[in-house]
Structure 1
Amino acid sequence: MSFGVLYEHLSRAFLSTIVVGFGSGRIDIPLLLKLMSAEGSPALSPKAHLDLQRAWWQLLKAEAGEITAAGAMYNVQVGHHPRGEEAVLAMAKIHEAMLWRHGYEVLAKNIVINEYPYAPTAGLRNERAGATPRSEKEKRQRKREIDLRDRLLQYLKTNDTQDPDMLSISSLARTLETTETKASITLGQLIAQRRIAYQPFVDPDAQEVLDAYLPAAMAIHGFDKLKPLKEHVEGKSGKTLDYIQLRIALLKRNLTPTSSSN
C-alpha cells in the first residue's frame, strides 16, 4: 500500500472518530506526524485521541507501565513485545476491560480534543511568542531549493529516458547548472517522497552491496539518519556508495528516514 493511500485512510479516521491507542501519544502519533511531513503531506493529528496508557497511568497515579502489565491487571493475555494484529487486539481487549471496570466517564476524562488537528504552517510557527522569524537569507535559500526541485521535476518529465548517462548525478548537475551535491540531495528527496520512480536510478551493484550489509547497519543505527548507515556499509564492504542508492534501498523496504537531508 502506498503512503498516499494510507494517508487518505488515516486522515479520514483522524478527523471523524476517536483514535484509541496504548502509548500512542508518546510513540505512534509523533511518528506518524514525522512520516507525513517527510512524505510532503499536511501533518495531521487526531481530532479526538484516547491514549489508554495515559488513562491507566492516571488511574494508578503512576508514570510507568507497558501493555503487558496493563494486560495482567485487566486479565488480558498479551504476548511478549506484541506487534501488528496481536497488539491491536490486545489494546481493544484492554479498552473493553477498562470500560467495564471504570466506566466511560472515567476514560472520557482522558480524551484529548484537538480543535486544530492540522500542524501549523511554517509561517504560523514563526509567529508564536519567542519564535525567530525566518531571515531573508533563509527565505532566498528555500526559494532556490524549490526552484531546483521544480526544474529537476520538469527535466525528468520532459526527458523520459532510461539512459544511465543522462540520469547520472554528474549529468543532472551539468544540465541544471548546480553542484553534484545539491543535485543528489534534491533527487534523493524526490525519490524518498515518491514523487518520481526510483527504478531508472537503480545501480544493481550498489544494491547488491546494500542488500548484504544494510540490515546489520539498521540494527545498530536505525534508519532516521542516512550518514551513519552509509558510513557503516562503506566501512564493512570497502565500497563507495552514494546517498541515492541508500535511499532506494530503504524505499524498497518501505522505510523513509525522518531527516529529509543526507
Structure 2
Amino acid sequence: MSATQLATPPPSVLRMAEGGIHFDGVRAVDGVTLEVRSGEVLGLIGPNGSGKTSTLNLLSGMLRATSGSIHLDDHDLTRLSMRRRTRFGVVRTFQSGRVFGRLTIAENVEAAALGGGLRRREARQLTADILAELGLEDVAHQQADALTAGRIRITAIARALASRPRFLLLDEPAAGQNESEAIALITAIREFAQRRGCGVLLVEHDMSVVMGTCDRLHVLDSGRTVTEGEPALVRRDPKVIEIYFGKRHDHDAER
C-alpha cells in the first residue's frame, strides 16, 4: 500500500471563534475568527507584532485562550492541551525545527509515522514518499544533527507530515530560503496535504510566497482581523495595501 493510498479522513474544519489572548493587558490576539478547511492552504499574514504566532499558539494549544472558542468540527478543543490536540490531528511546527539529532533523516520521519499508528511497511513507504516530495532523498541517511538549519527545519516538517495530521500549522517553514526554494517547498507541502485531505495554516511574511501558494489569506494587524479572502482580492484591499505597501512599511504600493 503506497502512502497516497492510505485512508483519507473525511472533510473537516478547524475554527477559532472570537479568539483572544491577553498578556499583562496587551491584547496580542483580539476577537479573531478564522477557519481552515481540509485540503486548503490558508495564509496567515500581517506585519511584525500583528498576532500571527500567537494565533498559531492558540490553535495548537501552546497558549490557553483568554476568550473565544476553538473547535475541530463538533469537538471543542478550547481547553485541551497541545498534546491532546495532536491526538485530534492538529499538529504545529516551529521555526527552529524539532528533530532527534542522533537519528538519520529517514529514521526521524519513520519514527513519526510509526508513532502515528502505521505498521512498519506502511511507515517506510510513507517516509520514502515524503522524503522524495520534500527533496530530502539525498540526505536521508545523514544524521540530523549534521545538517544545516534549513534542512533541519524541513525535516521537522517531514516528521509532522508523517504523523498524518488533519491540520498542519506552519510557522515560517521556508525561512532562510530564497523565493523559488520557498515556493517549491510550500507547493510540495500543499500537494501532499491536498492528497491527504489535510488543511494547512501557513504563517509567512513573504507576500510573493503566499500569493503563489495559498488558496485564501487571512490578514491580521494589531491582533485583529483586517480582511480575508482569495489572494488576488486581498492584495487589492486598501487596508492591506496600507499595511504592506504604504508608507507605514516603506514599500511601494505597486510592488
TM range (shorter): under 0.3
Which of the two has greater strand per residue? Answer: 2
Structure number with bigger Rg: 1
Q: Which has the higher contact order (CA 8 A, sep 6+)?
A: 2
TM-score (norm 2): 0.22
TM-score, with length taken from structure 1:
0.22
